[in-house]
């Protein structure tokens, strides 16, 4: 991320927006269970909110500096920080009851790697687990905000189909003026068997 972007993601303005608007909207009506995976926490403002709502949070961060800083800050809490790549997650199959990502998918440097990330989320979720999150819609301000950053915009009109290709079902995508939210479910074991028989 560029310097301004890093500053903004730690700002009190963004903390307030996350706590009062974005995360409540993203997780409205969603049951993630008690053991969740957060993908791409950055400086951890989202993690601070999540660990007050869930029993156990594992935050996976690819940036070594951000991961080290967050690990030190959250040591001894119910949040575990792991440095790693979300397209090759260092977790066993069926590890988490739910997974979330907030405004981070557009930082994954290609659509192919984004799809690989979706497949990895599916793999590490338990059957019946839900993946929920948000991302931003394209706009001129959004583009300028990411000057000299990695930016691969996620099309809200195609993310649903991409989640289904990864194996998810019960996919829902909702949009507002600047962002979209999604939620998708890994089928329960009996549903997985039915799907596989139909192939």
Mean pLDDT of 101-122: 96
CATH assignment of 3-198, among 3.40.50.150, 3.30.2010.10, 2.40.30.10, 3.40.50.300: 3.40.50.150
Find the mean pLDDT for residues 170-176: 95
Please report which confidence band the pLDDT of residue 194 belongs to, taking 50, 70 and 90 as the band edges.
very low
Q: What is the DSSP string of 74-90?
A: HTTSSEEEEE--TTS-S
Q: Are 129 and 191 in contact (CB under 8 A)?
A: no
Confidence class of residue 1 from pLDDT cuts 50, 70 and 90?
A: low
Going by pLDDT thresholds of 50, 70 and 90, the confidence category of residue 193 is very low
pLDDT of 198 reads 43
The three-state DSSP-derived secondary structure of 147-192 is CCCCCCCCCCCCHHHHHHHCCCEEEEEEECCCEEEEEEECCCHHHH
pLDDT tier at 196 (50, 70, 90 boundaries)? very low
CA distance 99 to 132: 6
For 160-171, the pLDDT digits (tens) are 999 999 999 999
Q: HSE on the CB side for 101, CA within 13 Å? A: 22
- Which residue ranges make up each domain of the chain? 3-198
Q: Which token pair is 120?
A: 């990895």
pTM of the predicted model as reported, rounded to 2 decimal places = 0.86
Mean pLDDT of all residues in 49-67: 96
Q: Is the pLDDT of residue 14 over 80?
A: no
Beta bridge partners of 174: 181
> Given a cut of 70, is residue 48 above it in pLDDT?
yes
């Amino acid at each position: 991320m560029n310097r301004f972007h890093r500053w903004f993601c730690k700002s009190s303005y963004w903390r307030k927006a996350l706590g009062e608007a974005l995360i409540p909207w993203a997780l409205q009506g969603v049951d993630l269970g008690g053991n969740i995976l957060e993908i791409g926490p950055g400086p951890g403002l989202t993690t601070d909110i999540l660990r007050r709502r869930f029993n156990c949070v594992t935050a996976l961060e690819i940036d070594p500096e951000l991961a080290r800083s967050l690990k030190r800050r959250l040591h001894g809490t119910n949040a575990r920080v792991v440095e790693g790549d979300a397209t090759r997650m260092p977790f066993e199959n069926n590890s988490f009851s739910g997974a979330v990502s907030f405004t981070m998918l557009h930082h994954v440097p290609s659509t192919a790697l984004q799809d690989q990330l979706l497949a990895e989320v599916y793999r590490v979720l338990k059957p019946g687990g839900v993946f929920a999150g948000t991302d931003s819609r394209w706009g001129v301000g959004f583009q300028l905000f990411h000057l000299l950053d990695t930016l691969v915009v996620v099309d809200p009109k195609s993310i649903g189909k991409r989640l289904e290709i990864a194996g998810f079902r019960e996919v829902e995508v909702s949009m507002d003026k600047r962002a979209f939210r999604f939620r998708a479910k890994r089928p329960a074991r009996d549903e997985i068997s039915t799907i596989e028989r139909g192939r």
